[in-house]
Amino acid sequence: MILRDRFFIGGAWVAPSGKETIDVHDAGTGAVMGRVPLGDEKDVDRAVAAARGAFEAWSSTPGAERAAYLEKISANLKARADEIARLIAQEVGMPIKLSARIQAGLPIANFANYAKLVKDFQFEERVGNSVVVREPVGVVGAITPWNYPLHQIALKVAPALAAGCTVVLKPSEVAPFNAFVLAEVIEAAGLPKGVFNLVTGTGPQAGEALVKHPGVDMISFTGSTRAGKRISELASQSIKRVALELGGKSASVILDDADLPAAVKSTVNGCYLNSGQTCTALTRMLVPQNRIDDAERIAADGAAALDHVRQGGIDLVLLDLMLPGLPGTEVCRRVRELSTVPIIMLTAKDGELDEAEALDTGADDYLTKPFSYVVLVARIRALLRRGGRERPPVLDVGDLRLDPAAHRAWRGDVEISLTPRQFSLLEYLMRKAGEVVSKAEILEHVWDYDFEGDPNIVEVYIRRLRNKLDRPFGRTAIETIRGAGYRLAADGG
């Protein structure tokens, strides 16, 4: 249970004016995962006063200095990326692999990008006989949605801070915990007191209080059209600047000469991103009347296949990127969102994806044509035996750490890039730390290949793993293994 009982106002964690709280539910189970304070008009007033008090000094801070703060925030977010990914996966329901790349990754990039932009931005320039001066608006009230919570927060807070504005943030009460992590990150970065302030609450209470407040110069809102209309009405009373990003769900326009299977499948796949919680998902298709029957059939087949995956009716997925009309990488991402079913991606020798890119889409394994069907069957057997529905525990042996579910490995604080075979070998060696095993056992449990009865192939992969670890870390694989208390049997060298 996550309990947050204070707001971040004026550079300090302060108690709310009231005692009411908001339950936050786990998107996967529906259970209450934590609580946050229910902010009201008094809390908003304190936050706006802090932002107003900090504005003059912050707006006078040189752009390079503001950029340095944004870089610190980006670095601090990166240091807590795993925590953020897990937190938003619970709040929103996005699978952890995608949450790490999107929900945690994009905010890191957003703060870094605005740091870079503000360094070179010309706040004052001469145009003819005139001088154009770009000044910060003032206090910005940011009200954000729940589907990409920290990403949307970053897209409002980062440019506002870069421009010299101070901010009062009211995040979605559906997914608020990530905003508290951001507040902690900002505090650790040493941002001057009052430049960033956080108040949680509902739209009708904290949200409307922020929009109506005379000390707020601008409101930036992302959400529903209905809420946007209400914000426009309230902001108009004080002639407040308003930036509204509303609605979405635009149509996918498919013309008569389009590749119909590719266009329809891509549209259907896009609907499943973030469990359908995406404003830019194309959930309508406009197709020529004479192709409507074919489009409906292709869409129905595609949706049914993905539903079958979600319901657990498939044990393994093979995606051949060379099949015409199949957007394999998009299908892979959608399948990975819906299920932990193992995925093997197939491509040509000179295909558009390399191994790292294929695995980044969510695939568990990757094969380049031409390959032996004996090898393919063996890889399928290995994946099915390992299974994909239960998340295996993270392994810690010596200075090595390995997350089998996320397919990531670290040595100390540095991440190691490994091929699937290298990863499988290292995982097995770490699981068997302290035991004596033979090359034959490694061969059987890591790859399940015959290799024409030649277990010496293990030495090849040990050598490759050693070389991979040698370059960035300066220790051989054998030393790493022995340092962890692991040793090979006599026939293993």
Neighbours of 3 (CB within 10 A): 8
Of 477, 475, 483, the residue nearest 458 (C-alpha): 477
Q: What's the distance, CA 197 to chain centroid?
A: 24
Whole-number Å distance between alpha carbons of 346 and 381: 16
Q: Give the SS3 label for residue 260.
A: helix
b/e code 324-359 from CB counts within 10 Å (16+ = b): eebbbbbbbbbbbbbbbbbbbbbbeeebebebeebb
In 21-129, where do the E strands start and end?
A: 21-25, 32-37, 124-127
Residue 271 falls in the annotated catalytic set: no
DSSP state letters, 184-214 = HHHHHHTPPTTSEEE----IIIIIHHHHH-T
Neighbours of 407 (CB within 10 A): 19
Catalytic residue among 41, 184, 279, 357: 279
Please, what is the angle between helix 260-271 and helix 328-338, to 10°?
Answer: 30
Catalytic residue among 41, 184, 245, 357: 245
Q: Are 149 and 277 in contact (CB under 8 A)?
A: no
Q: Are 365 and 344 in contact (CB under 8 A)?
A: yes
Residue 165 falls in the annotated catalytic set: no
Of 96, 81, 182, 178, the residue nearest 415 (C-alpha): 81
Handedness of CA 432, 436, 437, 438 (dihedral sign): positive
Two tokens, residue 172: 């979605």
Active site residues: 245, 279
